[in-house]
Amino acid sequence: MSDDLMQRDSGAIRATLARLEQSWWSVADASGVAPRRAITAQLIGPALPHAFIAERIAPGHARIRVAGQELAAIVGTELRGMPLSCLLGVESRTLFADRLAICFERPAIVDMPLHAPRRFARPALNGRMLLLPLMGNDDVIDRLLGALVLDGEIGHRPRRLEIDQSAPWRRDTLTGPRPQRLRAIAGGAHLRRSAYAPRPKLRLVVDNG
C-alpha cells in the first residue's frame, strides 16, 4: 500500500473502527474480553452498517451470524450463515484463516488493511477490517465482533477484497483489563505478548445465537 493510500484509510475509517473498539472495551470484563451478551446495536453505534458478529466453527473459520447492510453490498447478497471468508478473494483466504485463528485462540484484537484493485469502470477500494473476540457460552471465546470499513463506493456489482500483505497489521494479545491509554487503531508494528487471556463473554441484539 502506498503512502497515499495509507493516508486515505487513516481518517474516517480509523475513527469508525476506533469508536467500535472503545465500545467493546467499555463492556470487557476483568480478563480483557467482552461478553457476547453485552453487544447491542446501541453499543455498536455508527459502525452498525459495517459491523458483523461471527461464530467460530473450526480453527481459522467462522460463520456470519449477523451483518450490516454495507457488508451485504460487498458480496451482493444476504450474509447470514455464510463463511466470514466470503468477503475476501480466494488468494487471501489462507492468510485470513491464520489471522482469524489468532483472534480466537490468543485471544487478540486483529486489525488489517484490505484493498480491491481497480477494474474496468470500477475504482480501487481501500479499507480495514477489525476483529474483536467475544466470550460466548460456557466461558469459551467462540464469537467475534468485527467491522469492515471501505473508503469508497462499492457500486452495483459485488467486489472481492484482498489482504494488503505489503502493509503492517495489528495483533494485540489480550492479557487483562483495558490499558489506561487505549492504543489508537493504526497499522503499526505487530504486538507480541506472552500471556493468553482467560475466557470472557459477548452479545448482539439482532441475533440470538
So what's the pLDDT on residue 96?
A: 98
Instruction: Identify the CATH number of the domain in which residue 152 sits.
Output: 3.30.450.20
Domain membership flag for residue 182: no
Region 57-84 average pLDDT: 93
Residue 69 backbone phi and psi in degrees, to 5: -65, -30
Under the banding of pLDDT at 50, 70 and 90, the label for residue 153 is: confident
CA 113 to chain centre: 11
Residue 120 to residue 86: CA distance in whole angstroms? 22
So what's the pLDDT on residue 4?
A: 43
% of the chain beyond a pLDDT of 90: 61
The CA–CA distances, whole Å, from 168 to 6, 15, 186 equal 10, 18, 9
Identify the residue with better confidence: 174 or 206.
Answer: 174
Tell me if 133 sits within 8 A of 96, measured CB to CB. no
Tell me if 50 sits within 8 A of 68, measured CB to CB. yes
Burial status of residue 197 (CB atoms within 10 A of its CB: 0-12, 13-18, 19 or more): buried
Domain membership flag for residue 45: yes
- pLDDT exceeds 50 at position 2: no
Identify the residue with better confidence: 14 or 30.
Answer: 14
Residue with cell 467475544: 134
Under the banding of pLDDT at 50, 70 and 90, the label for residue 209 is: very low
Tell me if 89 sits within 8 A of 161, measured CB to CB. yes
Domain membership flag for residue 189: no
Domain membership flag for residue 191: no
3 state DSSP class of 59: coil
Q: Is the pTM of this model over 0.85?
A: no
Under the banding of pLDDT at 50, 70 and 90, the label for residue 176 is: low
So what's the pLDDT on residue 77?
A: 86
Under the banding of pLDDT at 50, 70 and 90, the label for residue 59 is: very high
pLDDT in tens, 24-53: 999 998 889 999 999 999 999 999 999 999
Domain, as residue range, for 107: 1-173
For the chain, the average pLDDT equals 82
Domain membership flag for residue 197: no
Under the banding of pLDDT at 50, 70 and 90, the label for residue 195 is: very low
Specify the number of domains making up the chain: 1
Output the CA torsion 29→102→172→36 (10° steps): -30
Q: Please report how many Cα atoms fall inside a 13 Å half-sphere around the Cα of residue 107, on the Cβ side.
A: 25
Domain membership flag for residue 61: yes
Residue 30 to residue 198: CA distance in whole angstroms? 9
Region 142-163 average pLDDT: 86
So what's the pLDDT on residue 152?
A: 72
Domain membership flag for residue 47: yes
Residue 56 to residue 161: CA distance in whole angstroms? 21
Tell me if 80 sits within 8 A of 59, measured CB to CB. no
So what's the pLDDT on residue 67?
A: 96
Domain membership flag for residue 71: yes
pLDDT in tens, 90-132: 999 999 999 999 999 999 999 999 998 877 767 788 999 999 9
Residue 113 to residue 168: CA distance in whole angstroms? 8
SS3 content of the chain, % helix, strand, coil (to 5): 30, 30, 45
> What type of residue is 27?
V
